Amino acid sequence: MSENNLKNLRLAKGLTQTELGQHFGLSKTAISLYESGKRGMDGDLVKGLADFFACTTDYLLQQDGYTDSNMIALEKSSIVHLPIYGSIAAGPPIDAIQENDGTFPFDTNAMHLSGFNIDDFFFLRVKGDSMEPAIHDGGLVLVRKQSRVEQGQIAVVLCDDMDTATLKKYYLQGDQVFLQSINPSYPPIVKPVDKCQVIGRALWQGGNL
């Protein structure tokens, strides 16, 4: 039996098994079998479901640390729908896109968000492979708005008079900021500290960061 997060995602989106099946031309029975892990999903279906729920395939299939022992059950009262804001680069900086790209359901218990202002949290979609293997191209990253981060934390940073945004490990050395990729194929980006501003810290993407 193969565990997955299909049921959690469906419930968070407020869909019945019949309604989800209708989106993919599947019966309620088929959805039930997929959710229980009694029937495996082929690659095309996995990709289609991940796109539909705006999540990574790893999260859908409960991979990269998502095991039955550490999953937190989704309670209706703890689910919030956080906005998705455009795209940022995990690679060379690109122009920040500030338009709203819908919302994504998130369990506040999973990251202990209770007590924080929910308006301080949002999702950004990653573009590029410079943060592989920790953060995947096309994935959604949960961000908490904050203007400072600790050395080595993964941050969303706007550089060059706030015209560009990028996602990198952040290091401050004197009057310079070093934005370091995880993928060793990418060299660090070095900017004057007065030309960069931290707009948030990356907290989650298909697993804890």
Tens digits of residue pLDDT in 117-147: 778 888 888 888 999 888 888 888 888 888 8
Statement to judge: residues 103 and 46 lie in one domain = no
- In this prediction, residue 183 carries a pLDDT of 94
Catalytic residue among 7, 77, 145, 168: 168
Task: For residue 130, indicate whether it is catalytic.
Answer: yes
- In this prediction, residue 66 carries a pLDDT of 39
**DSSP state, 193?**
G
- In this prediction, residue 184 carries a pLDDT of 94
- In this prediction, residue 12 carries a pLDDT of 77
CB crowding 11-45: b at 16 or more within 10 Å, else e: bbbebebeebbeeeebeeebbeebbeeeeebeeee
Statement to judge: residues 88 and 23 lie in one domain = no
Host domain of residue 174:
78-204
Say how far residue 149 (Cα) sits from the centre of its chain. Answer: 19
**Does residue 65 belong to any structural domain of this protein?**
no
Statement to judge: residues 133 and 49 lie in one domain = no
Say how far residue 85 (Cα) sits from the centre of its chain. Answer: 11
pTM: 0.57
**Does residue 71 belong to any structural domain of this protein?**
no
- Between CA 156 and CA 196 the distance in angstroms is 10
Catalytic residue among 7, 69, 127, 130: 130
- In this prediction, residue 95 carries a pLDDT of 53
Task: For residue 114, indicate whether it is catalytic.
Answer: no
- In this prediction, residue 70 carries a pLDDT of 36
Task: With a cut of 50, list the residues of the chain below it in pLDDT.
Answer: 64-76, 207-208
Statement to judge: residues 119 and 174 lie in one domain = yes
Statement to judge: residues 194 and 159 lie in one domain = yes
Number of structural domains the chain divides into: 2
